[in-house]
Amino acid sequence: MRSGYSAFRKATPQTPLRISAVVADCLVQCTVQPLAPAHLYDQRPVNDEDLGLSGFGAVGARSDFARLTPKLRPIDATHITTHAHQGRAIFVCEDLSMIRKLIVAAALLLFPCIGHAADPIADLSVKKGFAAACENGDALGTPAMAAAAGFSHCVLNADFTKVGGFFGNIANFIDGCGGTGTKIFQAYYAYTGVQVPCNRMTIESDSGTQVLHLRYQRGDSSGTGTIRPLEFAYPTLKHNGAVQSGWPQPASPGTASLPQEMYTEITFRMPKASLDQGQLGRDIPFAWWQMGAAGGGPQGVEIDYIEINSDSNRGNGWNNSTGMREWGCDNCGLPHPEIVTHTDYTHYHKFGVLVTSDEKTNFAKCLFMDDVLQGCQTISPSNAIAYRKDRSKFLNYDVVWVGNNGGDAGPDFEPINPVDVYIKSMTIWECPGYATTNCPASSYFDKEGLTFWRNTRPAQSRGRKTESTKSSKN
């Protein structure tokens, strides 16, 4: 993520895609077991929008069924479905008098239900499974989206809200502030060897909840000779400098790093005063991304999760133009489609990012907010070298940037108000063998806005349909 890379885009935000939370047993639960679990039925009537976007069998069949059951609608858990109305209440199937009519309609729905029920991707709820041990932090349930992609190994569970916990004291987990080992965080001003003072990273209470507070204040990076953001990275590179200070990256023996394929989450907020400053479409007061393949390094793909644009709130939240980009080539690849979202970052939100690849065809990235899919995009590198398969040569890290990367452009790029970020948690999930190998997958899932690589099913078509891509933005 370099200054000026992610320009403010006046684009219509994509309609979020709601992830279904139930296994695809369609009509059977209501016809065979009238007192089905409460989460299986939705009392909102079926409308034309639902019929056109659900992808569930023939539209005519769904319309006939809707007329038979104006008050009762089975949840289509077989697919990721778009909804204009979020957060609808779901109720138990109580109207037993409707059962006879449902039996008549069963034949319309049974075949497509059976056809997809065996697919493990049918239930892509982001609910967490049984708690699994983490390398760093308390045991944590595996998010279903991570498990579906093969990321069943918990690398990091940094829960800053736990009073008295390991991540409740920066002396435990920040290099230079008392933390020891390689599987801890480090904090330098980006692209430099100047370490961030420990008083810019504090554990404190925010509205009664313990959080990690990161701050960049005007003049903080003056010792670097230019304007650089606070860079908070995991795991530490252990080479007395920011993650990317030096190409190829120097590292001390035993340095840990991450494959680019992963599932990761962060829960954070920022004050309005930190967001409403800077140059519209040019300054980025906060970024969350992968560092290891950007700027002047060897050819590779930079993967950005969140890049908040300064002063971009137009009533529906600040602009995030997340993306990917290939570096180090003449005809470098670019992502498709764009993911442009608007969020009120003054409130806490949980963001999740899934990054997958077969390391031959493309990288696929999906962004989630509060367990709702915001969109997916892919990038096809111009050369296979960009996949950086040799882990002994290419290191990769998850980083948070706080404060704008002004480069050599002068003081106009430095924020006037402090840039404050309050973080509740950060987690990382990888494949079990991530410590020594990358985590490629061989099967491509591309359906109704969700695109990722996995190792659990036969490959599907690798071409994204332009029409379906456009519909996901409406």
- Average pLDDT of the chain is 75
Say if CB 309 and CB 318 are below 8 A apart: yes
State the Cα–Cα distance between residues 404 and 386, nearest whole angstrom.
Answer: 27
Instruction: Report pLDDT for 138.
Output: 97
Question: Where is pLDDT greater, at 362 or 103?
Answer: 362
Q: Of 11-15, 87-91, 147-151, which has the strongest mean pLDDT?
A: 147-151
The span from the CA of 38 to the CA of 94, in Å, is: 9
pLDDT digits (tens, 9 = 90+) for 57-109: 232 333 333 333 333 333 333 333 333 333 333 333 334 344 444 443 443 34
Structural domains of the chain sorted by starting position, each given as residue range(s) with its CATH number in brackets? 20-120 (no CATH), 128-471 (2.60.120.200)
Q: Which residue has the tokens 């987990």?
A: 173
Residue pLDDT, tens place only, 170-211: 999 999 999 999 999 999 999 999 999 999 999 999 999 999
- Out of 160-174, 304-318, 342-356, 428-442, pick the least confident: 304-318
Nearest-CA neighbor of 305 among 272, 354, 244, 343?
A: 354
* Rounded alpha-carbon distances, angstroms, from residue 91 to 38, 39, 88, 103, 230: 5, 6, 10, 20, 47
Using CA atoms, how far residue 89 sits from 44, 321, 421, in Å, is: 9, 31, 33
| Tokens 């002396």 belong to residue | 171
Q: Are 319 and 312 in contact (CB under 8 A)?
A: yes
pLDDT value at residue 94: 38
pLDDT tens for each residue of 392-421: 778 899 999 999 876 655 546 788 899 999
List, for residues 319-334, the tens digit of each pLDDT value: 998 899 998 898 899 9
**CA-to-CA distance for 21 and 23, rounded, in angstroms?**
7
The reported pTM is: 0.74
Instruction: Kindly report whether the peptide bond that precedes residue 337 is cis, defined as omega within 30 degrees of 0.
Output: yes
